Structure 1
Amino acid sequence: MKIMFDINKIIRPNIKNLKPYSSARDEFKGDASVYLDANENAFGSPLSQNYNRYPDPMAYDVKMELSKIKGVPARNIFVGNGSDEAIDILFRSFCNPGIDNVIIVPPTYGMYEVSANINDVQLKRVNLTEDYQLNLEGIAEAIDKNTKLIFICSPNNPTGNSINREDIETILANFEGIVVIDEAYINYSRQKSFIQELTEYANLVVLQTLSKAWGLAALRVGMAYASEEIIEVFNRVKPPYNINEASQKLALEALKNVKQVNDWIKEILKERDTLVLALKNFDFVIDIYPSDANFILVKTINADGIYQYLTQQGIIVRNRNKVELCEGCLRITVGTPEENQALINSLKNFKND
């Protein structure tokens, strides 16, 4: 039997009663010939393109384009300053500092812990199993009356694997708080997105980003997909103009090039397979874990030594040796064919002293 989710039971009282800031662009929607309402510089910008006017506070055009691509109504979409803004808003909206707690499943994306610490929210860790899947029994034992959020990254960072869908559905059906599924790498995965389950689970929040497959990391545009009532909370708490005009325009332009992104995804997956085969030839490589992302987690006999050596060669990978359950591991992003070959060529000269 599925537990009924009630947002009023978990939202912070001050957020429930919060009257959001009303910006000039909230109070007037539409077009006009003269704008004298927002104390902007009417003479323009010292740039080739004018940025003197405040942007759309709700990034409506971006949401509409995302709606077409994802098949989700715009009212179920929040656009944030990277998905990190959505993570922070979840803490500020639903977790009472010093009282509530959240659950994470390490090894996982480090920003969940940082946001918990910033917001003075207790963090409960329930480590993944040795095959990097959910410990359902451990999660069930960790949940108490003050547990508000559970974060699940799938495909997971830094391990690269997708989390078993049935296990996630079990948590969604039995947890009274919000389950946050971070799908930053979903474009590379063989599993379908949980966006399709939004109508099934009222307590579901799906995070995605334009930083990975879409190649827009510098623009800082992330998305949260959720029920209309949860999105309404996001919009109430966010800063008035959280996505700048330049990012909105460029994101909108990029979202019209789905074919280009899909072509890149195919090439990256092909390069990932080629990279895995090449790395298996080195005797200092112990294991390469299955990946549904644009990176691979490689277990080695000397992660620190290999990392330092590659750095000296001008090649930077991510050393995950000190991360629990990732001891001896390097996380390697799939690059261009030339970059991947440069990595392999450099490793051929590595000597494990």
Structure 2
Amino acid sequence: MTSGCNFEGCTVGETGVCALEHDPTTCEHHTEEATGTGGRDVEVKGDGGASGIGAPVLQRPTGSAPFPSSHTLSPEVVSDMMASRYVTVVGILGDPDSGKTACLASIYLLVSNAMLEGWAFADSRSLMGFEDIARGARDWNAGNPPDQMTVHTDMSDDRRPGFLHLRLVRKSDGRRIDLALPDLPGEWTTKLVASARSDRLEFMKAAEAIWVVLDGRALADKERRQALILRVGQLVERLKIMFDGRRPRIMVVVTHRDDGELVEAASSRLAAELDRRGIEARILQVAPFSNHVDVKAGFGISDLIGETVGVARPMPDFWPTSPSRDGVRSFLGYRRDR
């Protein structure tokens, strides 16, 4: 059936000629739904047209934008964020089980409980990403902490890092900072040292600070200490090649402070190795989690954040006062002699 006629094969709606050679206006198969006076087609418009024939009964409702994902962010999302505000990108390197993910989980738990000294929570676009890595720390067995607070980091894409976003406010000066923290598997650091594979770490060229996370228990062990220190030296040499002269600030983050303070022999050897490689680095001790009363969980995390974003700078006077001088038009000459 065609428009304007219910006779099979008739094209009177398109050609104006009846298939039975009848007058289209008097043909018994003629229909009135799609033709108007004189057999001319009535133009049917999307908004109802002249008679509203064929128009939608209801207008389609305006669809609202879906909520953005709050899991780990892709490099493209971080790049778009950096185009709209200043974002401090941090590179986090370390062998498997060195405590990288534990540091991130500890930051999240401290912030969520308003216990990060000197800092206040402002926003985060990856709360579910933080929640995923911190969920293991909440699963206690009859009041006893689990053997491992975090799980091993596995990447859905072996070539692309996942970032955690956190916006904090420094209480001392009210400065707002945005942190982009990658949660990387330790195998990426192992392959960087062993085979110089750095294609997956290209994002670190935009980093302002790099955390080299070391297992404090290995540094305390005399049999494993020197091997770990040599690996740190090899790692910083790889970083020197990656950054080609321009290097961000490097912080050596020693975990498991709750198991004991870093001994002088280990810290001096580590500092000597970095100095031999021509690297200036700050050595910080942290305890993301703790089983000892003397050292609280989250020890050193606040200092680590402070070192990452830099020291607080005094706010300059917006319009400093200056002594008036005779014969000088102060407004036109403001700061001209400076």
Fold conserved (TM > 0.5)? no
Decide which structure has greater helix share. 1
User: Which is higher, the Rg of structure 1 or of structure 2?
Assistant: 2
* Larger relative contact order, structure 1 or 2 (CA cutoff 8 Å, min sep 6): 1
